[in-house]
């Protein structure tokens, strides 16, 4: 599990910006963590069913019924910018 | 098209499932409402909100899977497909990935009289994103569509021509409409079709570079866009320009595809099982129950019309194009028999009136089976002539009155009674003794004159058939 | 006021008009001002609390189980119209238009939400030092951390700012601060309390729970919060109807599991003595002490951090400055926006703190192409093994008892620059979280430095009611009566 990684590339995927001055600290942390986590490599997991959630076996379903829980005003009231009841963002390239 | 190349096409058809509420929330799927009015806290991806799967979305997916002859998966799993886009509220789309609800399957259809089969890879459930509208200075986002349930139907990349691709897509749409799982409206986006297309030198096994075409909003354009793209790729090959793996948009006005210039590098979707949902588990009894509700497949119905009802292929295709039309046709046949007569009337006058009537839709069918049957019965037992029946049908369409009432009001009933017509024949012949002699001495042309006179005497109501028969009998003497 | 009186006794008085909710709420709101300046446990007081107290006094909630009971809520729970920041700048001004299901349940039973408490940002932390609103302090000693991530909720109850508080536990975030602050903290079985309206950290681990000065107090509020909710697909109908808040389990014959690996950990000496003393007392009471082994305990930290970070990296993608929360497009060099990615990066980089960023990076990495199998998928498999360990152990015992953390509260700043040692802190709480088991922390005593020592009880899934009965018996046995003064 000697993983090669590029913090900036990961940050890019996560839409985070790491300033150059902080890069070293993030890298050191990452390296330590991965070193620590390398212990997992030694566990024999052949044939082990991954556990995603603790107790669930099957999803409950909801009936196909319409319910208006929130007005459009409530939906928009926390938005940074709104125009014509639409969320507004800078031009998307 | 150049014959030096093989064309390889795969289609991804996104069908909007006809549910009342969204895939994971109780917000309405009704399109007509104002900006962001169909948005719940769940659709907006607000903190702390959670998805719960819509039962009807599952039923409709299952139904579609069965219609498309897929292997229904008793356990399927939702995953998160992660990427950032302003109209994607959670930063991920909930979509089935490794374990979809349906695998394999096939779609049969006829193209130029030959039976074709396109194999399917899978069909999986997912939620729709919102809609971005770009204005130079800013972009506006409407989340009304966010969270609408979709079923993505993925064909194997083995479609060989643009024409075959379009016919396949039409059949899928037809099947979805038959099963009433999707209204199949490409223009409104309730059905969307992405095409993957590549070319390779004839006989080469290895596939060429794949280009994805998006933004195709009619069946006609599927064929045109693919034809254009295939030609473009061949051109590239010929002038030695590399074909780039990319997404291209189709511009129907210019009939061209152009590059979206999207960064492909960011395509690490980091799928993982959606921990807010548990696996979707289907019981055998659910599958059996849905199976019982399946309509006959349109292609199978087409075959039956041709083989059993002996209808022409083009008529059968037309009649089976819409389930409501085919149902109407068959219901009328069940009532009065004579499938050819019914076929002629449905594909002829009925469809002409239907197409001219803007308020007529398949859902809101404009005529009842009994009303139409009654009219055709009058035609088949010769109460009225074909021309009169057309007139009556138009009146029925306009007024909603029954055929018999219109016929009665207009006094259109044919006289078919032998004794009544015999009297008229006698009268005409006795008034034209000289012409009778001329006719009998060989002037055959006069026969038409006698028919005309009898019809005139009956004010056009006499059955021409009876008139003919009686006249011939009488003139022989 | 609640130091000697149980919450249910007080509520009964309110219903009988022998006590006034308005008076209580006024006293608490006025009373918290000075101590909270030192503790920074409460982030916001609910302006409508007094109005609601008046309604309670008018008799509008006379059928409630929590009529008039003032409750503080961790700031990652949504309460309509009140801020819900999760102690993050990215949600600084967010006011949800909806209330979390479990908080709604409390209100339905007549409780009064008096305010929101401090926490580690997005519940990521074990010391409450990762809060955008500054750290919360331990009321037993202000130089020490209260634990985390529900530090504010634990500290507030310990300091008497409210009788009950609500917290969330992902890898120990209720139990560890409860033990650091000398209060009772209960995390129910995963799925018992609806997560609807609780701001997600790690979906498959997050569970709401409660703090109280006694088992009965904490359990009463939790019992109300446990309710079947169709808005959370992972919510389950529990087999028990109540938590038997006032019943004690007869200890004779109870099989108490002592985990070999937990006791082998590098435990603080005083803590070890207290735990061993407690086990000895249980033995004297007729409990059968059983040695059990959870052989995959050592992997709990990597598994927990990989699973939690992976889910968190995804859960926190929604904070993008489009629909709610912070939008800060400033840049140090005043450059114009370059592209869509830049739009997201600016807001998210300004909005999240360093620990949150670290975990988003770790989770993004663990889910990314080429690493998924070795990290996330592997962790999910080992998680199964950890869960199976418990299954095996519960064939031999009814409950597991042991320490909550390896040592009592540590000094502020002590581990801030050593994330690994901070993560290691959770070695004794994360296994039960990964397996989704009910578990709780009970105050066991004080160290020589007068810092609380905690005892952890872990029960089989959906044995929450039995765990509470067992804890009632333990509580009587321990007889912890110390209180702190701030």
Taking an 8 Å cut-off on Cβ atoms, the answer to whether B21 and A67 are in contact is yes
Question: How many of the other CB atoms lie within 10 Å of CB of A63?
Answer: 11
Residue B265 CA: distances (Å) to CA of A18, B189, B261, C318? 19, 28, 12, 22
Using an 8 Å Cβ cutoff, are B27 and B39 in contact?
Answer: yes
Could you say which residues from 263 to 292 on chain B have a Cβ atom under 8 Å away from some Cβ of chain A? 266, 268, 270, 273, 275, 277-281
Percent of chain B scoring above 90 in pLDDT: 63
User: Residue B263: which pLDDT band, with cuts at 50, 70 and 90?
Assistant: low
Q: What is the pLDDT of residue B409?
A: 81
| Joined tokens for residue B173 | 């749409």
- Which helix (H) or strand (E) segment is B455 a member of? helix B446-457
Give, rounded to a whole angstrom, the gap between the first and last alpha carbons of chain C: 15
| C173 flagged as catalytic | yes
| Residue C210 to residue C219: CA distance in whole angstroms | 7
Taking an 8 Å cut-off on Cβ atoms, the answer to whether B45 and C232 are in contact is no
Residue B27 CA: distances (Å) to CA of A70, B44, B343? 9, 11, 44
Q: What is the pLDDT of residue A1?
A: 42
The answer for residues whose C-beta is within 8 angstroms of residue B455's C-beta and 6 or more apart is B462, B464, B467
Residue pLDDT tens, chain C, 486 long: 777 899 999 999 999 999 999 999 999 999 999 999 999 999 999 999 999 999 999 999 999 999 999 999 999 999 999 999 999 999 999 999 999 999 999 999 999 999 999 999 999 999 999 999 999 999 999 999 999 999 999 999 999 999 999 999 999 999 999 999 999 999 999 999 999 999 999 999 999 999 999 999 999 999 999 999 999 999 999 999 999 889 999 999 999 999 999 998 889 999 999 999 999 999 999 999 999 999 999 999 999 999 999 999 999 999 999 999 999 999 888 889 988 999 999 999 999 999 999 999 999 999 999 999 999 999 999 999 999 999 999 999 999 999 999 999 999 999 887 878 888 889 999 999 999 999 999 999 999 999 999 999 999 999 999 999 999 999 999 999 999 988
CA angle C447/C449/C452 to nearest 5° reads: 45
Taking an 8 Å cut-off on Cβ atoms, the answer to whether B142 and A86 are in contact is yes
Give the strand pairing for B131-135 and B138-142: antiparallel
Which pLDDT tens digit goes with each residue over B84-114?
A: 999 999 999 999 999 999 999 999 999 998 9
| Joined tokens for residue B254 | 């210019």
| Residue C76 to residue C330: CA distance in whole angstroms | 27
Mutate to test the interface with A, among C90, C92, C97, C297 (most CBs of A within 10 A): C97
Could you say which residues from 3 to 62 on chain A have a Cβ atom under 8 Å away from some Cβ of chain B? 12-13, 15, 52-53, 56-62
Task: Reply yes or no on whether the pLDDT at B2 is more than 70.
Answer: no
| C8 flagged as catalytic | no
Question: How many of the other CB atoms lie within 10 Å of CB of C273?
Answer: 13
Query: Which residue on chain A is closest to C317 by alpha carbon?
Result: A14
Q: What is the pLDDT of residue C417?
A: 78
In B143-275, DSSP assigns E strands to: 149-155, 191-201, 211-216, 246-251, 256-259, 272-273
Could you say which residues from 433 to 472 on chain B have a Cβ atom under 8 Å away from some Cβ of chain A? none
Task: Give the phi and the psi of residue C464 in degrees, each rounded to 5.
Answer: -55, -40
Could you say which residues from 297 to 326 on chain C have a Cβ atom under 8 Å away from some Cβ of chain B? 310-311, 313-314, 316-318, 320, 322-324
Give, rounded to a whole angstrom, the gap between the first and last alpha carbons of chain B: 70
| Joined tokens for residue B459 | 């004010």
Q: Which of chain C's residues have a Cβ under 8 Å away from the Cβ of B277?
A: 233-234
Taking an 8 Å cut-off on Cβ atoms, the answer to whether C419 and A81 are in contact is no
User: Residue B71: which pLDDT band, with cuts at 50, 70 and 90?
Assistant: very high
**Residue appearing with tokens 């009342």:** B20
| Joined tokens for residue B391 | 């007139």
Which pLDDT tens digit goes with each residue over A33-81?
A: 998 888 999 999 999 999 999 987 899 999 999 998 899 999 999 999 9
| C466 flagged as catalytic | no
| Residue C122 to residue C115: CA distance in whole angstroms | 18
SS (H, E, C) C37-58: HHHCCEEEECCCHHHHHHHHHC
| Residue C307 to residue C171: CA distance in whole angstroms | 11
As a residue count, chain A comes to 93
| Joined tokens for residue C112 | 């009064």
Give the strand pairing for C399-403 and C255-259: parallel
**In which region does residue B253 sit, left (phi positive, over 0), alpha (psi from -120 to 50) or beta (all else)?**
alpha
ipTM of the complex: 0.96
Strand partners, A83: A86
| Residue B278 to residue B283: CA distance in whole angstroms | 15
Q: What is the pLDDT of residue B1?
A: 47
Sheet with B138-142, side-by-side order of all strands: A82-83, A86-89, B138-142, B131-135
Mutate to test the interface with C, among A43, A51, A65, A67 (most CBs of C within 10 A): A51
Q: What is the pLDDT of residue B412?
A: 76
Residue B157 CA: distances (Å) to CA of B12, B81, B175? 10, 23, 20
Using an 8 Å Cβ cutoff, are B379 and B392 in contact?
Answer: no
């Amino acid at each position: 599990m000697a993983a090669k990684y590029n913090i900036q590339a990961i940050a890019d995927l996560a839409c985070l910006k790491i300033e150059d001055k902080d890069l070293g600290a993030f890298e050191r942390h990452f390296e330590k963590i991965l070193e620590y986590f390398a212990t997992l490599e030694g566990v024999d997991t052949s044939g082990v069913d991954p556990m995603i959630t603790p107790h669930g076996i099957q999803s409950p379903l909801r009936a196909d019924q319409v319910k208006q829980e929130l007005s459009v005003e409530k939906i928009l009231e926390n938005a940074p910018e709104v125009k014509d009841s639409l969320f507004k963002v800078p031009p998307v390239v | 098209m150049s014959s030096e190349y093989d064309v390889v096409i795969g289609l991804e058809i996104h069908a909007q499932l006809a549910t009342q509420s969204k895939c994971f929330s109780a917000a309405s799927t009704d399109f007509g409402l104002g900006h962001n009015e169909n948005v719940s806290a769940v659709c907006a991806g607000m903190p702390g909100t959670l998805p719960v799967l819509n039962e009807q979305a599952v039923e409709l997916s299952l139904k579609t899977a069965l219609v498309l002859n897929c292997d229904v998966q008793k356990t399927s799993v939702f995953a998160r497909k992660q990427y950032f886009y302003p109209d994607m509220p959670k930063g991920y789309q909930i979509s089935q990935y490794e374990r979809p609800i349906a695998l394999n399957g096939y779609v049969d259809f006829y193209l130029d009289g030959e039976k074709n089969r396109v194999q399917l890879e899978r069909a999986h459930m997912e939620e729709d994103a919102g809609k971005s509208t770009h204005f130079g200075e800013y972009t506006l986002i409407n989340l009304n569509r966010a969270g609408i349930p979709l079923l993505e139907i993925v064909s194997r990349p083995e479609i060989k021509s643009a024409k075959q691709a379009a016919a396949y897509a039409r059949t899928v749409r037809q099947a979805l409409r038959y099963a009433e799982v999707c209204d199949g409206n490409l223009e409104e986006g309730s059905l969307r079709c992405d095409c993957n297309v590549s070319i390779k030198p004839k006989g080469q096994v290895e596939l060429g570079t794949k280009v994805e075409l998006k933004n195709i909003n009619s069946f006609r354009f599927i064929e045109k866009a693919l034809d254009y793209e295939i030609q473009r790729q061949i051109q590239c090959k010929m002038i030695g320009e590399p074909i780039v793996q990319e997404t291209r948009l189709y511009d129907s006005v210019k009939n061209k595809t152009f590059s979206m210039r999207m960064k492909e590098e960011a395509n690490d979707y980091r799928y993982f099982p959606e921990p807010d949902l548990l696996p979707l588990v289907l019981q055998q009894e659910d599958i059996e129950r849905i199976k019982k509700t399946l309509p006959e497949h349109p292609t199978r119905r087409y075959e039956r019309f041709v083989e059993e009802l002996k209808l022409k292929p083009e008529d059968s295709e037309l009649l089976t194009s819409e389930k409501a039309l085919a149902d109407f046709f068959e219901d009328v046949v069940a009532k009065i028999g004579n499938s050819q007569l019914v076929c002629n009337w449905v594909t002829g006058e009925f469809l002409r009136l239907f197409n001219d009537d803007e308020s007529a839709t398949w859902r809101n069918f404009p005529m009842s089976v009994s009303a139409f049957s009654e009219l055709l019965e009058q035609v088949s037992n010769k109460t009225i002539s074909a021309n009169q029946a057309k007139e009556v049908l138009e009146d029925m369409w306009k007024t909603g009155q029954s055929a018999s009432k219109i016929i009665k009001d207009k006094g259109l009933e044919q006289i078919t009674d032998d004794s009544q017509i015999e009297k008229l024949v006698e009268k005409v012949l006795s008034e034209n003794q000289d012409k009778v002699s001329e006719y009998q001495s060989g002037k055959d042309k006069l026969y038409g004159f006698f028919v005309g006179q009898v019809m005139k005497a009956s004010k056009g109501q006499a059955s021409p058939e009876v008139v003919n028969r009686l006249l011939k009998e009488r003139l022989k003497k | 006021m609640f130091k000697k009186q149980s919450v249910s006794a007080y509520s009964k008085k309110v219903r009988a008009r022998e006590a006034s909710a308005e008076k209580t709420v006024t006293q608490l709101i006025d009373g918290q001002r000075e101590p909270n300046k030192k503790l920074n446990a409460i982030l916001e007081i609910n302006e409508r609390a007094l109005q609601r107290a008046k309604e309670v006094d008018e008799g509008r909630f006379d059928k409630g189980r929590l009529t008039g009971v003032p409750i503080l809520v961790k700031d990652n729970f949504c309460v309509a119209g009140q801020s819900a920041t999760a102690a993050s700048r990215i949600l600084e001004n967010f006011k949800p238009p909806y209330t979390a299901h479990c908080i709604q349940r409390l209100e339905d039973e007549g409780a009064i939400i008096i305010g929101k408490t401090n926490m580690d940002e997005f519940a990521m932390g074990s010391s409450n030092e990762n809060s955008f609103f500054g750290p919360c302090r331990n009321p037993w000693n202000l130089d020490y951390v209260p634990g985390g991530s529900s530090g504010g909720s634990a500290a507030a109850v310990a300091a008497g700012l409210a009788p009950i508080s609500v917290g969330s536990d992902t890898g120990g975030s209720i139990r560890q601060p409860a033990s650091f602050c000398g209060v009772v903290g209960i995390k129910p079985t995963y799925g018992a309390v609806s997560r609807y309206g609780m701001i997600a950290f790690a979906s498959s681990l997050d569970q709401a729970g409660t703090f109280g000065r006694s088992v009965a107090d904490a359990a009463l509020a939790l019992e109300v919060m446990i309710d079947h909710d169709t808005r959370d697909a992972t919510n389950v109908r529990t087999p028990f109807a109540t938590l038997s808040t006032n019943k004690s389990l007869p200890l004779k014959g109870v099989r108490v599991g002592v985990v070999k690996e937990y006791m082998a950990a590098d435990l603080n000496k005083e803590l070890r003595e207290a735990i061993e003393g407690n086990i000895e007392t249980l033995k004297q009471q007729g409990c059968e002490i059983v040695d059990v082994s959870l052989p995959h305990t050592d992997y709990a930290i990597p598994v927990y951090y990989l699973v939690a970070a992976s889910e968190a990296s995804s859960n926190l993608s929604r904070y993008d400055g489009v629909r709610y929360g912070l939008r800060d497009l400033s840049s140090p060099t005043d450059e114009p926006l370059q592209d869509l990615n830049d739009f997201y990066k600016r807001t998210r980089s300004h909005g999240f703190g360093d620990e949150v960023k670290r975990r988003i990076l770790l989770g993004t990495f663990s889910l990314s192409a080429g690493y998924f199998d070795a990290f996330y998928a592997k962790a999910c498999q080992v998680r199964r093994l950890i869960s199976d360990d418990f299954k095996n152990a519960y064939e031999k015992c009814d409950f597991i008892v042991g320490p909550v953390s390896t040592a009592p509260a540590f000094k502020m700043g002590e581990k801030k620059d050593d994330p690994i040692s901070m993560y290691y802190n959770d070695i004794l709480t994360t296994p039960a979280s990964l397996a989704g088991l009910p578990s709780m922390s009970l105050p066991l005593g004080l160290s020589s430095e007068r810092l609380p020592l905690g005892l952890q009880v872990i029960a089989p899934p959906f044995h929450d009611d039995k765990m509470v009965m067992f804890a009632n018996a333990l509580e009587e046995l321990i007889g912890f009566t110390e209180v702190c003064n701030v």
